Structure 1
Amino acid sequence: MKIPSYLLPGPFAVFERMFADAGSLWVHTLATLNALAIGFVLSVLIAVPLGLLLSLSRIARQVLYPPTVVMQLIPKIAMAPLLLVWLGFGIETKVMLVVLISFFPLLLASMTGFAILDERLLYLTKSMGASGWQTFWYLRVPAAMPVIFSGLKTTATMAVTAVIVAEFLGSNNGLGYALLRASGALDTEYMFAVIVVMTLIGVILNYIIEIVEWLASPWQRRDR
């Protein structure tokens, strides 16, 4: 039984549509990437330093970690309509949803990474006269980086999903908006074209993180 093309278009038809509507796809892709980049960078800038603080300070863990866990237990997708009411239909809602969804997994990865160092190494370096800054930069950071970058790769996928969900709920641009409009028009070729672009964004973002990890970890390159 042959499946009708309006239900499941062939790959060549999808790629032809991608080239035919390249201009429209590019405009929506830029809108999605803009919100994704801002939200993802904000998540990193907030979660990684906070993870360092929580891993090193017991007082900070007692004061800050419980409310952070409570915030994480709130369903983020359920908060999206509230974000629309508070922030409107602009890029702010997309960015905030990315931060809310990406923040906690990256925070956990940072806390785990910075706390993973064997305490005996700290005593050894201290006995050899290393300063606190030297111990942090040459021991704690290299030990934490593989865990943090692993968290970044996981968080990147979640961030892409967050942007698309925000564009589903309320937006006048972006790939999620384009996908929703194509769904209303039963334009399956364009829908699959948008899905291919979304997948490419996730793959490219993952490779970018791997390249940054490779550049930031010269000691791992020497071990390979």
Structure 2
Amino acid sequence: MERLRQSIRSVAPAIIAIIMFLVVWEVAVWIWDVENWILPAPSLIVLTLFDTWHLLPEHIWMTTKEALLGFLLGIIVALVMAFILDFSSFLRKSFYPILLFSQTIPIIAIAPLLIIWFGYGILPKVLVVALVTFFPVVVSVVEGLQSSDRDMIRLVRSMGGSHLQVFSSVRFPHALPYLFTGLRIGATYSVLAAVISEWVGASSGLGIYLIKAQSSFATDRVFVVIVLISLLSCLLFLVVVLLGRLMMPWKHKSQKK
């Protein structure tokens, strides 16, 4: 019960701020008599969500599938790359600048190339999400591995510990908080990356639904998509946070103290 009270107290300010923002928005639209195609009221957006719900599940599922598959692929590739870069200082110095440079290329410019190379199926969308979520994870894990406690490493080695034992008992546990920091960042990017990839070429997905709503000046439907994208991103972020608490209970307990 005490934990529930603490959780409520921690999220209460954010909930109150959101409610106040929506109330001000609703009142402002009503007072200035703003046209719905310019800025719909929150109440109209909610009504539109219910009225068009029968059209949305297919689009929601496609975007969610692209985001999840791309996120998982990005995590796997990022972990492998992080371990390789950590293993060799030469590789780290050689490839780290290339990784940094890759992030200067707009994803909207890469997506058409992936469509040309891999077609209009789900694969190019998954690759776009993986490219976006890959970088924060690999950078975070490399930083975590490189900042491991040297005294603990020497202690384990003095007791006859192998490289694998040092990695599993000292270095990787130390890198876990860094890993989940990167995962939280990647989780917030994954849904947005999936939507952007759908703009280039797709038959279903929230990105396609958004383009159709925008082209018909259905601003209320545009806001419905914005709400759904935000909710999916928050849900994936929450899943990552919960997984972090399960895998790092010691960190959560120390923060509570």
| TM-score interval, normalised by the smaller of the two chains | over 0.9
Query: Runs in 1 of length 4+ with deviation above 6 angstroms?
Result: none
Does the CA-based 8 Å contact 1:56-1:115 persist in structure 2? no
Of residues 73, 77, 89, the one that matches 1:46 is 77
Aligned residue number for residue 23 of structure 2: none
Of residues 87, 106, 109, the one that matches 1:78 is 109
Deviation at 1:23, TM superposition (A): 2.2
Partner Cα separation in structure 2 for residue 170 and residue 204 of structure 1: 26
TM-score (normalised: structure 1): 0.92
Aligned residue number for residue 160 of structure 1: 191
Partner Cα separation in structure 2 for residue 163 and residue 151 of structure 1: 18
Structure 2: where are the runs of 5+ without partners? 1-31
Does the CA-based 8 Å contact 1:36-1:160 persist in structure 2? yes
Matches within 5 A, 1:15-34: 15-34=46-65
Partner Cα separation in structure 1 for residue 114 and residue 107 of structure 2: 10
Matches within 5 A, 1:177-196: 177-196=208-227
Deviation at 1:60, TM superposition (A): 3.0
Q: Give CA deviations for 1:133-170 in whole Å, capped at 9, x if unaligned.
A: 33222211121011111111111222222111111121
Does the CA-based 8 Å contact 1:98-1:162 persist in structure 2? yes
The SS at the match of 2:65 is helix
Does the CA-based 8 Å contact 1:149-1:213 persist in structure 2? yes
Deviation at 1:181, TM superposition (A): 0.2
Q: Give CA deviations for 1:33-72 in whole Å, capped at 9, x if unaligned.
A: 1111111100000101211221132243255445444444
Structure 1: where are the runs of 5+ without partners? none
Provide the aligned C-alpha RMSD in A: 1.7
Which structure has more relative contact order (CA 8 Å, sep 6+)? It is 1
Q: Which moved more, 1:40-49 or 1:83-92?
A: 83-92
Partner Cα separation in structure 1 for residue 106 and residue 229 of structure 2: 23
Over the matched positions of the two proteins, sequence identity in percent amounts to 33
Partner Cα separation in structure 2 for residue 71 and residue 220 of structure 1: 33
Aligned residue number for residue 199 of structure 1: 230
- Aligned residues, how many? 224
Q: Which moved more, 1:211-220 or 1:75-84?
A: 75-84
Does residue 7 (structure 1) correspond to residue 38 (structure 2)? The answer is yes
